[in-house]
A and B are shown apart, each in its own frame.
Chain A
Amino acid sequence: MPDKLVRRKSLGTILPLGFIFVLVLFFGSINPRFLSIANLYNLIRQTSVLMIVAIGATFVILMGSIDLSVGSIVTLSGIVSALFVPRIGIGSIFIGVVIGGLAGTINGLVFVYGRVPSFLVTLAMGPILEGIALIICKGSPVVIKDMNFLKIASGRLIGNFPNIGIWAILIYCFFTFIAFRTRYGRYVFTIGAGEKASQFSGVSVKRIKIMTYFVSGFLSGLAGVLFSARCQSGTARMGEPFILDSIAATVVGGTALTGGSGGPHRTILGVIIMGILSNGMNLLNVHPHVQIIIKGVVTILAVAATLDRSRLEFVK
């Protein structure tokens, strides 16, 4: 039994790396354009927003919970910040981040004090926020014309490297540090691996849970602002794909849905895999609808390969 567990653990690291290698070989051999620098930057532009959302999702999943409201938070924060751009310009980044953080905190409070399962709280919070977003924008896209604002995502500060990629790398490094080098980060792991033992050791489980939903909301809010800057508009349903993609990237990267093992450092692998899949399939002209199916299949396969069933009494 321990042997089997060790095997699973190493699979969690080797499998995503191996999969990336196979995907690069596959797409690169069919279409050499896939391996060009221009396409690399393209890939970064396409995956950076997902990277930021997925880091938040990783914290929630590490803690043994789930956040299904990230998509709507991206939409709401994208639309509201786009509305504020004509008035306060770059300052609307803060508007988006505050909206995200607030929505996340509400998720956490209802989950902890209402004792409603996180899955249900966030599932219901999705349409609530989506509805608010639709009312605010009256169903039509909010176009952004402020060039200074657009540059936060599509500009290039360092060589040809897209700015949005800098955001993603900074967030990735900062939150990996948070996970492994801070008190808060440690408690996220211990709650995920053993909530009762953590509580019995004096960990304020409730506070950590609320903070984690705040983190997830905050990052989704930031992602929303950057996404609207990248798309030059805030539109309804713009965040929808991030619900599945953020969970998939986390799990494909090797963070177990059971909580307590994995970490944000791994999620980058999952994001790259999801990104390469989309990018490569685009280059091969795979129909977008077929792409969705393939992504779903990959997610199921990844969970099947990484889920540590010995820790689960029942698979629910």
Chain B
Amino acid sequence: MPERMEMENSANILNAENITKSFPGVLALDNVSIEVKQGEIIGIAGENGAGKSTLLNIIAGIYQPDSGQLFLRSKLYSPLNYQQANRNGVFMVFQEQGLVPSLYVYENLFLANEGSFITKGILNKKRMIKEAADAMESLNLKIDPTKLTWNYSFHERQMIEISKAFTLAKILEIEMPLILLDEPTSGLSDAEIATLFGKVKEYSERASFLFISHRLSELIELCDRLYIFKDGKNIESLSTEHTSEADIHEYMVGRKRESEFYREDLQISSTGKEIFAVNGLMKEDAFSDVTFGLNRKEILGIGGIVGCGKTELGICLAGIEKLDRGSITIEGYDIHKVTLQNMMKRGVGYVPGDRKNEGIIGYLPVNWNVTLPSIPDIVLNGLPLLNIKRENEITRTFVSKFKIKTPRITTMCYSLSGGNQQKVLMAKWVAKNLKVIILDNPTRGIDVGAKEEIYKILRDLVEQGLSIILITDDLLELIGLSNRIVIMKDGIITNEFESPPENKTTENELVKYMV
């Protein structure tokens, strides 16, 4: 009996049991269990924020779970950092940051594990190079370990990362490593993806893989089995045979949209007067041929999968990055030079998606953050002197209007919750009396209560005459809030939907045009 147990368990390289992990305000993983058998290629699918990356980071020892246990080769496994994970035969191919570009390939391969090459305090470079060359050969890679890493293209660097996992496993005397791939195909061309997948399949006799991707077709093509995550839960486990993209998508989305949550009762039909129009916008490697109009008091939603070009479109519309081609018209006035300053002057504001780095300045007080774009408007008598009284008035107005929970208006922003920081970020632009505001994922990573408050704020702003371009990854938010929805795929608009309150489209309808 005990022998049989061992047999059964030895087939499983990884068991994750009831893993729960929360971050302030978000439950990232809720009681998730998965298993990976030896030699299997397992995929995880799910929307942004479903908890995929969090799970990988826990397995790699970068985060520790709040509760739940991991078993590696049926032994309890609780790595405290990435090095410990490595010693147990778990390796992660990071999206981009794993290799030091200015080092030689062989140096990268053995980085932080040079110990076994040291004799009498001296690093045996010859032996390192030889071992690296052997590793490349055994993986059928045409990579010269004595070249500098930056000479290699993105997908070749991915392969170097994977070979690093194998070489480290060899040094550490581990037979079957578990390799975690976090979106390894973003930024790769089709041919490169094919090469990568060919290699992964080839190596699956010598390793097990756990793989995250946004592209569902890839998951089906590469993986033996799939887990589908939604809102931090593992909701389905599928064999990839007889599974279509649409099947997966149904599991991934398939949430019930509650119209009250998005305050659809407050949706007003726009005035029909066009305030903002773009024609034939193009930015190399991001989007092309983008044409649409925005009416007064309208919310225009822009959706599409990650990497479809909608984020870049927002940045270009704000004037932060240069457009390669196309024109923008605001209230019939052609903008000749699309710069941030010009767009601001014409009444266009941009709320970036990266709240922490591009939106809020954490180590400055709330009032300084709120008035930052309006400083030129609140100077004293035309002199470049600050009107501190006015600044504090504006801040107090928005703190009460947006219900920003802060002890004082001089409290440093980093100490506020994500939802309140987002409100400060919104206040910052609304205080400027804009006509058009571009929002990139305005509710990313904030809790449900704060989301609801922000939706109400958006409805009120539209009521007062503002027009909104809403770029978001959250399909329910896109459907619930927008008057009209534009869907992008690979940088091109694939369809446009009317979305009146009484006749909202469904997620599945939109997804058809996204993938």
> Would you call A202 and B361 a contact (CB within 8 A)?
no
> Would you call A190 and B364 a contact (CB within 8 A)?
yes
Distance (whole angstroms) from the CB of B296 to the closest CB of chain A: 23
With known contacts A181-B388, A186-B386, A201–B373 Cβ distance under 8 A? yes
> Would you call B361 and A190 a contact (CB within 8 A)?
yes
- Considering only residues 319-365 of chain B, those with a C-beta below 8 Å from chain A are 320, 340-341, 344, 350, 352, 357-364
Residues on B with C-beta less than 8 A from A190 are 361, 364, 368, 372
- Segment at the B interface, from A50-58, A123-131, A191-199: A191-199
Residues on B with C-beta less than 8 A from A199 are 320, 340
> Would you call B363 and A194 a contact (CB within 8 A)?
yes
> Would you call A200 and B350 a contact (CB within 8 A)?
yes
Out of A180, A203, A260, name the residue touching B372 (CB < 8 Å): A203
Distance (whole angstroms) from the CB of B318 to the closest CB of chain A: 8
Q: Does A214 contact B (CB under 8 A)?
A: no
Q: Does A261 contact B (CB under 8 A)?
A: yes
Residues on A with C-beta less than 8 A from B372 are 190, 197-198, 201, 203
Residue of A nearest to B351 (CB): A200
Cα of A2 to Cα of B414 in the assembled complex, Å: 9
Distance (whole angstroms) from the CB of B188 to the closest CB of chain A: 27
> Would you call B363 and A200 a contact (CB within 8 A)?
no
On A, residues with C-beta under 8 Å from B are 2, 5, 180-187, 189-190, 193-194, 196-204, 260-261, 311
Please list the 4 inter-chain residue pairs (A to B) with the smallest Cβ-Cβ separation, ordered nearest first.
A194-B361, A201-B373, A183-B384, A201-B372
> Would you call A194 and B340 a contact (CB within 8 A)?
no
Residues on B with C-beta less than 8 A from A187 are 375
> Would you call A183 and B375 a contact (CB within 8 A)?
yes
Residue of A nearest to B432 (CB): A202
Additional A-B contacts beyond A186-B375, A202-B373, A311-B363 (17; CB < 8 A): A180-B386, A182-B385, A183-B385, A186-B386, A187-B375, A189-B364, A190-B368, A193-B363, A194-B360, A194-B364, A197-B358, A198-B361, A199-B320, A200-B359, A204-B341, A260-B363, A261-B363
> Would you call A197 and B340 a contact (CB within 8 A)?
no
Residues on A with C-beta less than 8 A from B358 are 196-197, 200
Out of B340, B352, B415, name the residue touching A2 (CB < 8 Å): B415
Cα of A203 to Cα of B375 in the assembled complex, Å: 9
Q: Does B376 contact A (CB under 8 A)?
A: yes
On B, residues with C-beta under 8 Å from A are 318, 320, 340-341, 344, 350, 352, 357-364, 368, 372-373, 375-376, 379, 384-386, 388, 412, 415, 428
Out of A2, A181, A260, name the residue touching B386 (CB < 8 Å): A181
12 example contacts (A-B, Cβ-Cβ < 8 A) are as follows A181-B386, A182-B385, A182-B386, A183-B386, A186-B368, A193-B364, A194-B361, A199-B320, A200-B320, A200-B340, A201-B372, A201-B428
Cα of A148 to Cα of B346 in the assembled complex, Å: 56
Residues on B with C-beta less than 8 A from A189 are 364, 368
Residue of B nearest to A9 (CB): B412
Residue of B nearest to A177 (CB): B385
Residue of A nearest to B364 (CB): A193
Distance (whole angstroms) from the CB of A174 to the closest CB of chain B: 13
Out of B361, B412, B415, name the residue touching A197 (CB < 8 Å): B361
Cα of A261 to Cα of B415 in the assembled complex, Å: 16
Distance (whole angstroms) from the CB of A285 to the closest CB of chain B: 44
Residue of A nearest to B344 (CB): A202
Distance (whole angstroms) from the CB of B16 to the closest CB of chain A: 29
Residues on A with C-beta less than 8 A from B344 are 202
Distance (whole angstroms) from the CB of A84 to the closest CB of chain B: 33
Cα of A201 to Cα of B318 in the assembled complex, Å: 11
Residue of A nearest to B386 (CB): A181
Cα of A260 to Cα of B365 in the assembled complex, Å: 11
Cα of A186 to Cα of B428 in the assembled complex, Å: 15
Residues on B with C-beta less than 8 A from A197 are 357-361, 372
With known contacts A2-B415, A190-B368, A198-B372, A182–B359 Cβ distance under 8 A? no
Residues on A with C-beta less than 8 A from B373 are 201-202
Residues on A with C-beta less than 8 A from B415 are 2
Residues on B with C-beta less than 8 A from A180 are 386
Cα of A203 to Cα of B374 in the assembled complex, Å: 10
Most interface-central of B340, B352, B363 (chain A CB within 10 A): B363
Cα of A298 to Cα of B357 in the assembled complex, Å: 34
Cα of A85 to Cα of B340 in the assembled complex, Å: 49
Cα of A180 to Cα of B388 in the assembled complex, Å: 10
Distance (whole angstroms) from the CB of A244 to the closest CB of chain B: 26
Out of B340, B357, B359, B384, name the residue touching A184 (CB < 8 Å): B384
Cα of A261 to Cα of B428 in the assembled complex, Å: 21
> Would you call B375 and A193 a contact (CB within 8 A)?
no
